[in-house]
Amino acid sequence: MKIVRLEDLKGTDQEVVSPAGWTSVRFILKKDGMGFSMHETTFPPGLEFDMWYKHHLEAVYCYQGRGVLTNRDTGEQFDIVPGTLYALDNHDRHTLKAIEELKLVCTFNPPVSGREIHDEDGAYLPDTD
């Protein structure tokens, strides 16, 4: 059994602050052997960020704030509000814009190692371990 508390991770190497402005606290990583990683990600108001997880599948649950998710291949837009989950099950190119501060729980498969930030395509690199 593993117990992980947000306050114990803040300020450690499991809290990643992106140059783009988002913050991700990584609760479960590849090293934990669970087969997925789980993060709390915070998008400040006004942040608009393009992502494309070519090497990962991601599910995202919003529990605070308000934003807009755009599928960049279809142009479809979706309101992201508390109680909304979106799954990027086709390696979807997407843009997330925070209207209010967004608090999100993100799950990745395969799991990330911990310090990843997005490359120029908006992806995390594949794990080569």
34-48, 54-68, 89-103, 113-127: range with lowest mean pLDDT: 113-127
Whether residue 84 is predicted with pLDDT greater than 50 in this model: the reply is yes
Q: Cα separation of 61 and 63, whole Å? A: 6
Task: Return the HEC string of 39-69.
Answer: EEEEECCCCEEEEECCCCEEEEEEEECCEEE
pLDDT in tens, 12-69: 999 999 888 999 999 999 999 999 999 999 999 999 999 988 888 999 999 999 999 9
pLDDT at 126: 58
Q: Cα separation of 26 and 20, whole Å? A: 17
Whether residue 128 is predicted with pLDDT greater than 50 in this model: the reply is no
**Domains, the chain, ordered by start:** 26-98 (2.60.120.10)
Q: Are 29 and 114 in contact (CB under 8 A)?
A: yes
pLDDT at 112: 86
